[in-house]
Structure 1
């Protein structure tokens, strides 16, 4: 059913002229594939990041929203996009689980490995599916994922995705207007997944990893997306967790959420 035209689409202004251009590109796309339509729409609407690179991920999300709203008609997907896929961990994907119990200072070579190819992506997805209480689901929007390693092997995984659209405690703390939030939300990243493997028992490791990640994303996000990160956020599910490692890493507790988050759970915000 045809709905009203949104004033914004994936964070950018949107109007009838934009919709007409998109409909033209849908009709002209050869081959008639969703990926090709997204490429054409990025060119037609100059949908690019600060470095002039096409924002294919945002375009595909926006096109799907328009399709579901009845405003455009996309061709059927040519294949699965991974949403809903259940990852099964394979032992050969990573080192054999070996209990790690030592002081933090004894873990030589502690570092984050960026997920940048199919092998590391499958490893990250499988770890999260098997050992994180929320399981695996694709991270929204612009994202960064890392495997946590040291010289002795694998310790866990951490991932950042697009920030929540509205969080009252966060928005009040920042003090921005709705227009400012729309303009700058892309500079906020959400720590959507954080996993220390269950056989790893190292005191203070979690807060150390959070500190490493906070530094690393300020380097990797501009390099990949052409935009500077200015704030990280996360949501701590209570009473399951207390958010102690975030406090130890100098994250600030701002309050509880007032609505439903991206995973439809009641969370407690810690920024």
Structure 2
């Protein structure tokens, strides 16, 4: 949440430059909110700790700026209500074969960071077919991992931004409103676990 605020503050602080970037992107035929956010991230160099574009935070900040009347975003972008769900394969992921009874005997056990479109589809398909809550959607920054092996895919885990306010969590940690705002971006929420 703090990162989204920082992105929003940076954009609000240079609205003239932001409008130029938006106008240039639209003139070049860039229309989807994600593509526009990519252009803005490049222009303002919004990167996370790993050097990746902060697309989700930038998209949310752009939507907030549009709602406040500061900028106009492309009209032909998909609505947030989204008819589009997570992209999955048409068939379930093949079940793992000959999985041993003990973890020590599982061959080539690996936690695989989901980075490619194919990995995302595998993760989404596993969750859609095997997890009671399905594949998502998640909100805010996200991390997904697959549990792989020589026997096949064994499961997955997904993390996303934590809830903004949880009375019991905040009390246990000892957060007041100011401390929560300052540190919430360091807290992960476990959203899916499938083994």
TM-score (norm 2): 0.73
Q: CA deviation at 1:80?
A: 8.9
The answer to whether the 8 A contact 2:93-2:126 is kept is no
Q: Is 2:4 aligned against 1:10? A: yes
Give 1:167's aligned residue: 166
RMSD over aligned CA atoms reads 3.5
1:173-193 deviations in whole A, cap 9, x for unaligned?
222342332232222111111
Report which of the two has the higher share of strand.
1
Distance 1:78 1:174, change over 3 A: same
SS at match of 1:144: strand
For residues 86 and 125 of structure 1, the distance between their equivalents in structure 2, rounded to whole angstroms, comes to 6
Flag the 1:19–1:131 CA change in 2: closer, same or farther, 3 A. Answer: farther
SS at match of 1:164: coil
Partner of 1:140: 139
Specify the alignment match of 1:85 in structure 2: 85
1:57 matched to 2:56? The reply is yes
Secondary structure of the residue that 2:59 maps to in structure 1? Answer: helix
- 2:107 matched to 1:108? yes
Secondary structure of 2:153's match? strand
Structure 1 residue 56 displacement after superposition: 2.4
Q: Distance in 1 between matches of 2:48 and 2:187?
A: 15
Measured in 1, the distance between the counterparts of 2:113 and 2:174 equals 33
Give the Cα–Cα distance (whole angstroms) in 1 for the partners of residues 68 and 97 of structure 2. Answer: 50
**More helix by proportion, 1 or 2?**
2
Contact 1:158–1:195, Cα closer than 8 Å, also in 2: yes
In the other structure, the counterpart of 2:22 is: 26
Shift of 1:126: 0.9
Give the distance between the partners of 2:10 and 2:88, measured in 1 at CA.
43
Tell me the number of residue pairs that the alignment of Structure 1 and Structure 2 aligns.
188
State the shift of 1:142 in Å: 2.1
- Ranked by relative contact order (alpha carbons within 8 Å, sequence separation 6 or more), the top structure is 2
TM-score by length of structure 1 reads: 0.56
Q: Which runs of 5+ in 1 are unaligned?
A: 1-7, 197-271
